[in-house]
Structure formats: C-alpha cells, structure tokens
Amino acid sequence: MKEYIICWQFHDLYDIIKNKGENVDLKLVVPQKEDLWFKKEIKEDPNTMDYNAGYDLNFSGYNRENGIIRTDIKELEEVWSKKWIGNEPTNFYYYIKDGDTFIGEIYAKFDSSKNSHEIGIVIKGEHRGKGYATPAIKLLCEKLKENGVKNLYHKLPMSRKSAIKADINNGFVVIKENIDGMKKFGEIEKVVYLEKKQ
C-alpha cells in the first residue's frame, strides 16, 4: 500500500483545524481491492452525499432526494477500479486517512478539452469541519507535481465555501465565479472555477 505522509503542526493551521489535538497526520492511500468497501460506504451515506442531492442525473443508483448513489461492490472491483486505480498520469485516486481512520477520498482526472486535471475531494460527513481539506489538497498537489502534472482546476458550487477556501489555501486562483451550473432542485446553481499552475 503506497502512503504519502505529512504532519501539520496545530499552530500552523489554527484557523481551520479544530478539535484535532497537536498534530494532524494525514496520508493519501491508494486503495486496495479489500478497501473498496469505503468507496461504497461514502457513496451510500446521506450525510456525506448531501452535496450531490437535487440534480437531474440519469444513472443507475442515484437518489435525487438525498444524493446517494447505490453502488455494487463487484462493479467497483471490475469497472471503476480499472479506470481509477493505477491509471496515472491520466487519473489519480486516493483515500484520505488520519492515522488508521478513513476520512474521505480525493482525486484528479485528466480533461483533454482543457489540457488540465480536474480535482475533486469528498470528506465523509462525520469528519467535515475538522480542517482536513486543506492539507489533503496540498498532498494531492504535491503528488501530482511529482508526476509532472502542471495544470489543475476545480469547478464547484459557490455554496461550498470551505472547499473554495481549501483550494485558495493551496494556491488555486478564482478565474470565474457566479457561472451558471446545473439545475439543483429546479434552480440554476451558481458555480466557481479555480485554476492552479504548478
């Protein structure tokens, strides 16, 4: 299992890390087959997937009311993992761990139309608001840079203020804001587009 480790001293991140004691010990871990239960758990947890609710998405397993996506573990093993695991430099995918605890997932996928990698991060609902996003994105950016990835972007709803702050803390710059996005519960959602050159 590959692990990339960084320790953050509390005094360096006092404004965003709460209730974490003196150190946050984050690792980005490439999931093994036996770890795919956590991907399924994330996708099927309403407290985690609430950000995904309300869209008119037409794919199997999606619940518009709470945002969850019912996921088959066999499909994760046979289809999803072939696209995401060990497919660098096109796609990068990691679990975020604090010590032995799974915290969330983070990824980057190549977008040929922009010649850039789009990043994404999902922190499990019970671990949100504890300051994990900023150091996790930093770790991802470092790993991408090691693999020659220079251009990154993140497009997300304006309402996700803490995620936008985590991007900016890692050197992302707002390029456009208040862009019309998808409909969420019948209303056009406003999104922000950020970029980072490294």
Please tell me the pTM assigned to this model. Answer: 0.85
Going by the DSSP 8-state scheme, the letter that residue 167 receives in this structure is H
Tokens of 105: 């997932």
Q: pLDDT averaged over the chain?
A: 88
What SS3 string covers 120-133? Answer: EEEECHHHCCCCCH
For the domain covering 3-149, report its CATH number.
3.40.630.30
- Closest CA relative to residue 136, chosen from 106, 101, 93: 106
What are the pLDDT digits (tens) for 76-110?
A: 998 999 999 999 999 999 999 999 999 999 999 99
Is the bond into 89 cis (omega within 30 degrees of 0)?
yes
29-62 pLDDT tens trace: 999 999 999 999 999 999 999 999 999 998 899 9
CA end-to-end span of the chain: 27
